[in-house]
Chains A and B, each alone.
Chain A
Amino acid sequence: MTEPRRDAAIRVEGIWKIFGERSRQAMEAIRRDGLSKREIRERFDCIVGVRDASFSVGRGEIFCIMGLSGSGKSTLIRHINRLIEPTAGTVWIEGENVSAMGAEALRRLRAEKIGMVFQSMALMPHRTVRDNVAFSLEVRGRPEEERIRTADRALEMVDLAGWERKYPDELSGGMQQRVGLARALAADPAILLMDEPFSALDPLIRRQLQGTFMELSAELHKTTVFITHDLDEAIRIGDRIAIMKDGVLVQIGTPEEIVTRPADDYVADFVAGISKLDLVTAARVMVPFAAYVQAQGPQDTTGWPVGRPEMKLNELVDLAVATDHPILIAADGEPVGVVTKRALLRGIQGRDEERAA
């Protein structure tokens, strides 16, 4: 939300998607009278897939979109490479207006700048793993020798060297999605679009692939839009998270912001069960040092454990168990705040009353 506009790799502005024959009329009616989703279905027989979505993704950022099934995530992400035409709104990729592109420019953008991974994997069953991975190069007419070299390198990145000549149905589900990832990475695109890439996999395999993805991502710094219906996954992977409900982006923020300051009851319900230990920082639960001194009188802080403001609750617990004193939070050698045991426990619970009191 606070991204400088110029540096955004992807900027989505006021996207609406209304499915149905009479989507134009429905759009006008919404603009005029502000109809609800249900009224639109009854009056125009149209379905509102995405409702006025705006966000931007900075270069190299991982942007998660989280929401329940049917909330419009797949519809929204398909606007970025224009697999779906918006009813209203504009998408910009690195300053270029995707909505205004001609057919050939759009195909070039898809083949060279954007890689996509699908929940259903969507590999081509009649092509070898290598030919699947090299598909985007093949449609751009690259020579065979380059296609093989590029595909094999991409397969190596996802630990599938040696499987080039196999067919997709000879691979396990997890390996198939590795192929999907390799296909998205093959053309070395600047942007990755991932539509619930790991949702169809067993929990164990899912963890493995998340690991592979995060390693690659730390190495390659691709701008990524990552869709998931799993908040844990969103928190683990995302630099920022957008929560989507019924086609609306209800909140966009860092994982810590989403968890500690949910925008409404819907988000609050969602994040209620999330562990705050590795998410919330000392800065969020501490009492400012001046306020503490004012309330408790001057303090002798020798012997107090000292933490930093960006320390997670988990690390503060480690400091706290060793002593009976509160934890002193210091930045650049200056004390800036105090975390009492009570504030720490409340912080783990996700409640804020110590600060409010």
Chain B
Amino acid sequence: MADKAFDWLNPFASVNLGIATWADGIKQWAISNRELIQPVKQFFETVIVAIERALQATPPLVMLAILVLIAWQTAGRRGAIAVGTCLVVLGLLAPEAWGLAMTTLAIVIAAVILCVAIGLPLGILAGKNDRFEAAIRPVLDTMQTIPAFVYLVPVVMMIGIGNVSGVIVTIIFALPPLIRLTSLGIRGVNPSVVEAARAFGASPGQILRKVELPLAMPTILAGLNQTIMLSLSMVVIASMISVKGLGNEVLRAMGRLDAGKAIVGGLGIVMLAIVLDRITQGLGRSGRDRGHRHWWETGPAGLVTALFKKTT
């Protein structure tokens, strides 16, 4: 306002509230608090690396067998066949494809574990408290709608590039459905059943553990499935801040117009998505859909159980 004449038709050009400089201050704050941020970052880096090491150390065929068995247990025979087929296709895409997929899987697993750790308690809170639900809803909307590039920069400024930033960016995008559906599941529990639990002397914690969470579980698992899918959809963007894996192949292919890399990366992500979707979708079936059989009475575990019963 001081140096330029104030233009009534374009007032914005002459007003400077200094927001950009103020935001730059965040970077300064992050730099000056390095010793605070670094240990936390180091801890998560160690965890992510440990998960990746474990996945990479398992021989591909053993890993394939494990995933197929898990799919058989959660999604039945047809799910197992689909998962097995997808994993074989994934491995045949390119010699390095399996290793890249495991790196990506490690990042997804780390992000999903943190999503559950954060999202489940927040979702329960939102399910029980209308005020909290009303407060958190616009935040969740924002997390899902703003483009990832908007928060990519501040996250990198605060923490630097690498796996940890990749996981954080993934969490911001993938967390909302888990919170939403946990809240929805808790709210959907028949209030007269909760009242009966109260009438027979259950404490609030017992009501949560013995009534609300079990009854909300199919909905919560649907939320978990979505969170996993969204985590996977972030791998290309995460690779822009130097996260390795399948996403990085796609990114590099874009830079060089390398069709081969694009197909390996792209198809690899799709195969991984189908595998994770199949496995987690089956989790959400309620006891009624399974004919009131316990999980250990079906699938491969059911075979083992039956075998045990026969021999004893």
Closest Cβ of chain B to A28, distance in Å, is 27
Q: Is the CB of A136 within 8 A of B200?
A: yes
User: What are the residues of chain B within 8 A of A115 when measuring CB–CB?
Assistant: 200
Closest Cβ of chain B to A249, distance in Å, is 23
B202 within 8 A of A: yes
- A81–B196 Cα distance when bound, in Å, is 12
* Stretch of B18-26, B159-167, B187-195 contacting A (4+ beta carbons < 8 Å): B187-195
Q: Is the CB of B202 within 8 A of A107?
A: yes
B131 within 8 A of A: no
A38 within 8 A of B: no
Contact of A140 among B198, B201, B292 (CB under 8 A): B201
Q: Is the CB of B190 within 8 A of A139?
A: no
Per-position binary interface string of chain B over residues 248-272, scored 1 when its CB falls under 8 Å from any chain A CB and 0 otherwise: 0000000000000000000000000
Contacts A118-B196, A167-B292 hold; do A126 and B287 have CB atoms under 8 A apart?
A: yes
Q: Is the CB of B215 within 8 A of A116?
A: no
Q: Is the CB of B200 within 8 A of A111?
A: yes
User: What are the residues of chain B within 8 A of A170 when measuring CB–CB?
Assistant: 292
Q: Is the CB of A124 within 8 A of B211?
A: yes
Per-position binary interface string of chain B over residues 265-306, scored 1 when its CB falls under 8 Å from any chain A CB and 0 otherwise: 000000000000000000000111000100000000000000
Q: Is the CB of B195 within 8 A of A83?
A: yes
- A124–B197 Cα distance when bound, in Å, is 9
> Which chain A residue lies CB-closest to B190?
A122
Closest Cβ of chain A to B107, distance in Å, is 34
Q: Is the CB of B200 within 8 A of A116?
A: yes
How many of chain B's residues touch chain A, expressed as a range? Answer: 20 to 34
How many of chain A's residues touch chain B, expressed as a range? Answer: 20 to 34
Contact of A123 among B193, B203, B206 (CB under 8 A): B193
- A150–B288 Cα distance when bound, in Å, is 26
Contacts A124-B211, A126-B215, A139-B206 hold; do A83 and B198 have CB atoms under 8 A apart?
A: yes
- A120–B198 Cα distance when bound, in Å, is 15
A312 within 8 A of B: no
- A112–B190 Cα distance when bound, in Å, is 24
User: What are the residues of chain A within 8 A of B197 when measuring CB–CB?
Assistant: 124, 135, 139
User: What are the residues of chain B within 8 A of A114 when measuring CB–CB?
Assistant: 199
B154 within 8 A of A: no
Contact of A116 among B190, B196, B292 (CB under 8 A): B196
Contacts A110-B201, A111-B201, A125-B215 hold; do A120 and B206 have CB atoms under 8 A apart?
A: no
* Most A CB within 10 A of own CB, among B197, B198, B206, B286: B198
* Most B CB within 10 A of own CB, among A81, A109, A118, A139: A139
Per-position binary interface string of chain A over residues 107-149, scored 1 when its CB falls under 8 Å from any chain B CB and 0 otherwise: 1111110111010101111100000000110111000000000
> Which chain A residue lies CB-closest to B201?
A111
User: What are the residues of chain B within 8 A of A125 when measuring CB–CB?
Assistant: 193, 215, 288
A222 within 8 A of B: no
Q: Is the CB of B201 within 8 A of A108?
A: yes
B121 within 8 A of A: no
A202 within 8 A of B: no
Q: Is the CB of A83 within 8 A of B202?
A: no
> Which chain B residue lies CB-closest to A111?
B201
- A327–B195 Cα distance when bound, in Å, is 55
Q: Is the CB of B287 within 8 A of A139?
A: no
Closest Cβ of chain B to A340, distance in Å, is 53
User: What are the residues of chain A within 8 A of B215 when measuring CB–CB?
Assistant: 124-126
User: What are the residues of chain B within 8 A of A169 when measuring CB–CB?
Assistant: 288
User: What are the residues of chain B within 8 A of A193 when measuring CB–CB?
Assistant: 199
Show 23 residue pairs from A and B whose CB-CB distance is below 8 angstroms, ordered by the A residue: A83-B199, A107-B201, A114-B199, A115-B200, A116-B199, A116-B200, A122-B190, A122-B192, A123-B196, A124-B197, A124-B215, A125-B193, A125-B215, A126-B214, A126-B286, A126-B287, A135-B200, A138-B210, A139-B197, A139-B201, A139-B202, A167-B292, A183-B200
